Amino acid sequence: MQHITDPIEGAPQPIVDTIVDAGDQHESSVPETKPTITYDEFAKMDIRIGTIIAAEEVVGTDKLLKCTIDFGPLGTRTIVSGIKEYRTPESIIGLQVPYIVNLAPRMIKGIESQGMLLAMSFGNEGEAQQFAFLHPSTSVPPGTQLS
C-alpha cells in the first residue's frame, strides 16, 4: 500500500485507489482502510470532550492553530491542530470537541502539542475540502470521557 505523509502530524494517510468493476466497467474511488486493531488497542485511547477557551494562529504556517483546551479535572492543555484553513481562531472559542488526551506530547513548530483533535475533512479529489467538527449534541462538562 502506498502512503502520503500528512505534513502536520507526520501520520500516514492512504492513497485512494481506483477500482474498476468488471461488470459495469465504471470507475469508483474506494479509500483503503487502515490495518485492523484489536478492541484492547482501541480501548487504550482516552478520548475526552474539551472546551476551546483560547485560539491563535501559529505564525509562519498556513494550517496551524494553537488552542488552549479546558478539560475540567484534567486542567488545561495546549493542542496544535491543522484547521487554520477552515476556521478562524475567534470562530472556535467555546466549542466542545473530542480530543485524544493520552497521546504522547509532540513538538510542532516549537510548540508542545498535548493531544490530538478529532475532526474530519472531506470532499472530492481536486476540489476544495470541507471541514467538520465532531461535537456533543448538548453541552457536557469539560473532560467528559467518551465511552
User: Within a domain: residue 116?
Assistant: yes
User: Within a domain: residue 77?
Assistant: yes
Q: How many domains does the chain have?
A: 1
Strands 76-81 and 65-70: antiparallel
What pLDDT score was predicted for residue 147? 85
User: Within a domain: residue 47?
Assistant: yes
User: Within a domain: residue 147?
Assistant: no
| Grid cell for residue 3 | 502512503
Please give the average per-residue pLDDT across 61-72, as a whole number: 97
User: Within a domain: residue 4?
Assistant: no
The pTM is what? 0.76
- Angle, CA 115 vertex, CA 113 and CA 116 arms, to 5°: 105
Which CATH number does the domain housing residue 50 bear? 2.40.50.140
* pLDDT classification of 30: cutoffs 50, 70, 90: low
Report the percent of the chain where pLDDT is more than 90: 71
Helix spans in the chain (H): 39-43, 89-92
| Dihedral over alpha carbons 101, 116, 77, 7 (to 10 degrees) | 150
Please give the average per-residue pLDDT across 70-93, as a whole number: 97
User: Within a domain: residue 59?
Assistant: yes
- Residue 28 clears pLDDT 90, i.e. is over it: no
Position with higher pLDDT, 51 vs 12: 51
Q: What range defines the domain where residue 126 resides?
A: 37-133
pLDDT tens readout for residues 90-128:
999 999 999 999 999 999 999 999 999 999 989 888 888
Contact 37, 109 (CB under 8 A): no
- Residue 130 clears pLDDT 60, i.e. is over it: yes
